Chains A and B, each alone.
Chain A
Amino acid sequence: MTTTDDTIVADAAQSTQPEHDSPAEGRVESRLSTWKVFLRKPSTLIFLPLLLIFVLISFVGPFFVGSPSATGNPTLLPPGGAFPLGTDDLGRDYLARVVHGGQISLLVGFSVALLCMTIGVVVGGLAGYYGGFMDTALVKVAEFFQVLPGLILALVAAALLGSNVFIIVAILAITMWPSCARIVRAEAMRISKLGYIESAKAAGFGGIRILWSDVVPNAMPPVLVATSMTVGRAILVESGLAYLGIGDTSRPSWGALLNSAQAYMQQAWWLALFPGMCIFLVVLAVNMLGDGLNDALNPTIGRVK
């Protein structure tokens, strides 16, 4: 058993070393300092706390605000006083509704992204490393979702199969995983040509073992960038679906709040403003963090000389 432990350590040491085999990649920094560069960027210092605040509000906040469905207050009350975000057309506390709505939006966004990453790593890794049937299938599936836009497929599926949170998450993951898988595939193809894969093969390790402990860990950085972008896209698509009335009506997400706000745009600007602003800020934070991570991983790309 000691031999395998040693090789794992050797693998780990190797994977953090700069990859001289690919001079085209400007990846000079080791992974440790990449994280340092990322965490010290001004955009990270702004948007990471912003995202954490939204996560905190959405998951701890529900314990502090009142019930999101309690009626009986004055209807369409402007923000201020006892109701910081006002009340809606049925006299419900809008702050409570926005806080609870965030829970659904964020849960959908993060679970879709995690699912996409998992499927993407497995399928993309196999396709990129082995090629052959998996590879052809992946390319075809990706083409399929270019022809049938995810939003449309999700609408049809939700209309025909019904719509609860799980179906929405499943449909979004099904339509979004190919873009993540393609990135893993490209990385796996690149990495499988590198020297340390050759040595692993020469050392007699099997394909799956090499794929899991050498190819996938080294393919992770761009996958993390893609995953963070997927969080944003999933939240946007979910909000669009909910705005069109597809979703769990008993637990409205931010998009569903916008659906009911449409009719009251003239009388109650706050109903449309706050949920949309929340979606915007969360997606912006996620995208900026993804961009920052990307910059930290590829310091030379992004500016002319």
Chain B
Amino acid sequence: MRAIAIRYGRLLVSSLLLFVAVITVLFLLLELAPGNPIQSLVGDVPISPAFEAQITAAYGLDKPIWERYLIYLGNVFSGNLGISFGTNQPVLELILSRAGNTLALAVPSFIISTTLGILLGSIAARTRRRWLDSSISGIAVGLFSVPNFWLGMMLIMVFSLVLGWLPTQGKAPYGQEGIAVQYMVLPIITMATSELAYKTRIMRASMIESLSQDFIDTARSKGVSPRRALWRHALPNALLPMVTVSGYSLGFILAGSVLVERVFGWPGMGLLFIDAIGRQDNQVVLGVVIVLTVTIIIVNIVTDVVYGIVDPRLRSQLVRRSTTTRKTEVPA
């Protein structure tokens, strides 16, 4: 138990340090931004002297750089991401009101790309029909090479403008609240494809590796059917790299949502981010990055924990691994 506690404690500390590093980089970018610091914090909007004094006090802009840095850090950790100067709302509130819309696309894309990626990758690795393997691999490379947002534009042109089957933009018919399902179809396909391509490639490689292990030969010689050997013996092992890849892929999906939401005019965090960049509403820009980073860090922690649960080797090695440091991997 102690070994496990040490392992997760170390994970939490390093995640926290990563988060601080991200905030530091954002702070430095703000400092590097040319012009008046108040103006670059507020964005490209006119401000009154009273307001300027208020911001100077709130961010301690008259104080030395390290003190400002600590104030900024303190603000972020207490959940104070500032005020949007476009809408006068607290930034955190503004972002959280959009987060649901982003997740409505990101979560289905994540599930679809992961399950289909595992399925297609396994089939490509296992099949004796070369054409099937090469067409799956070929499609994967193709989807991997296509600019994701352009694929979305092409889907709109074919399915919305030419065929008229699906709507082009937005999340629901004009004037209606909520999200309509037919509006989700194209954005989810667009978001899922590039991750699907990546996951198929990883899964294929990992499955080929797994199928060439000795325990598959052992299972087959004990009379296990090829199908069972694939799905019950090879698959669990081949899934291990997929756990890590899937964890990281959620970060890529969220980052990519900036592009997809712009293509489909989907009012999520990504569109908020782009609009804020366009209006130079820098508080919102930084706020979205911070929320995104926190999400990705949490997902990474969850991925690590899941990996520890799924991988039996790790469970038994935990004691050994936590006593020896990482330096053992590095040659002296």
Contact = CB atoms under 8 A, between A and B. Distances in A.
Interface stretch (A16-24, A72-80, A113-121, A275-283): A275-283
A189 B332 CA distance: 10
Given A265-B161, A272-B157, A156 B150 contact: no
A210 interface: no
B29 interface: yes
A297 to B, nearest CB: 15
Contacts of B94: none
A152 interface: yes
B18 A147 contact: yes
Interface in B108-144: 125-126, 141-142, 144
B190 interface: no
A156 B29 contact: yes
B22 interface: yes
B211 A291 contact: no
Interface string B239-259: 000000000100110111011
A157 interface: yes
Interface in A180-213: 189, 192-193
B262 A189 contact: no
Interface string B165-201: 0001000000000000000000000000000000000
Interface stretch (A33-41, A63-71, A92-100, A232-240): A232-240
B154 interface: yes
B258 A189 contact: no
A161 interface: yes
B251 A147 contact: yes
A261 B19 CA distance: 38
A230 interface: no
Nearest to A272: B153
Contacts of B259: 151, 240, 243-244
Contacts of A88: none
A149 B21 CA distance: 14
Given A144-B22, A159-B280, A189-B330, A291 B153 contact: no
Contact of A258 (B150, B208, B278, B285): B150
Given A156-B26, A161-B32, A244 B274 contact: yes
Contacts of A147: 18-19, 22, 251, 293, 296-297, 300
A124 B4 CA distance: 31
Nearest to B263: A262
A245 B262 CA distance: 11
Contacts of A303: 208
Interface in A142-193: 143-144, 146-153, 155-157, 159-162, 189, 192-193
Interface residues of A, number: 55
Contact of B29 (A146, A160, A246, A269): A160
Contact of B149 (A160, A161, A243): A243
A301 B205 CA distance: 9
B237 interface: no
A152 B32 contact: no
A135 to B, nearest CB: 6
A184 B196 CA distance: 27
A125 B207 CA distance: 31
B292 interface: yes
Contacts of A305: 212
A146 B300 contact: yes
Contact of A151 (B21, B126, B258): B258
B33 interface: yes
A304 interface: yes
A192 B29 contact: no
A258 B258 contact: no
Given A146-B248, A302-B208, A192 B282 contact: no
A107 interface: no
Contacts of A304: 125-126, 208, 211-212
B300 to A, nearest CB: 7
Nearest to A158: B277
Contact of A152 (B21, B211, B289): B289
B282 A160 contact: yes
A280 B262 contact: no
Contacts of B29: 156-157, 160-161
Given A147-B19, A244-B262, A272-B153, 7 more contacts: A132-B330, A147-B293, A152-B292, A192-B331, A236-B148, A280-B146, A304-B125
14 contacts: A131-B331, A144-B22, A147-B251, A148-B289, A151-B259, A155-B277, A161-B34, A232-B145, A258-B153, A266-B161, A269-B157, A279-B150, A287-B145, A304-B212
Interface of B: 14, 18-19, 21-22, 25-26, 29-30, 32-34, 40, 125-126, 141-142, 144-150, 153-154, 156-157, 161, 168, 208, 211-212, 248, 251-252, 254-256, 258-259, 262-263, 273-274, 277-278, 280, 282, 285-286, 289, 292-293, 296-297, 300, 327, 330-332
